[in-house]
Amino acid sequence: MSLYVVTGTDTGVGKTFVTSTLVSRLRRNGFDAVALKPLETGWREATSDAAQLAAASGQPIDATVWAHFDLPAAPSVAAAAESRKIDLDAMSSWIRGSSAVHSHCFVEGAGGWMVPLDHDRLFCDLVEDLSPSGVVLVSASRLGTINHTLLTARAIQRTCRLSAIVLSVRPSDPPVEAQMHLAEISKRVDVPVFAFPRALDELSQLFHVEHQGR
């Protein structure tokens, strides 16, 4: 089993698009790959990230999300709004159990690397506890992304292995700017940087190689 965490420089940068597309490609290539969304806020089931990830994984939605909250906010804030608490130990056990029966499992976070999950702990603390095979960092091709990506990459590498950085490029993003972002980020990090979805094949091949090396 290979467990990867997908995080982002911010919310709305394309984590679900990247994760669902990657899982779909791996499954088409014969890998038993699934995606999990342990926590989701701003919950609307039909349009949720969990629903998209479940469809890509060939799994029911209740096997994809551990807890969800109505308020579109950080998990700690959204849980408090409903007078609920997030049991991180129970969630961590659920992630391990859900991922153990698949060759590849991608755990998509809610928000960014340091989003608060409860009064004391952040998403990065949960990831450190999970000891994943690697972390995939997703960023958007927009003003400020170089700074945000490099800051987040350094934060991840303090405690975890960063497998790749994925620049999620939308059809409306100017190609010249996207190429500039890719080049500027690439020359300042020591991990592969992919423009997505153009480099989907190269990204999926990365996980083929990592799986074979384990």
| Residues belonging to the active site | 37
Q: Is the separation of the CB atoms in 123 and 112 below 8 Å?
A: yes
DSSP 128: H
SS3 127: helix
Our measurement of the distance from residue 179's CA atom to the centroid of its chain's CA atoms, rounded to an integer in Å, reads 22
Q: How many Å apart are CA 89 and CA 176, to the nearest integer?
A: 45
Q: Is the separation of the CB atoms in 170 and 142 below 8 Å?
A: no
- What DSSP assignment string belongs to 200-212? HHHHHHHHHHHHH
2: left (phi over 0), alpha (psi -120 to 50) or beta: beta
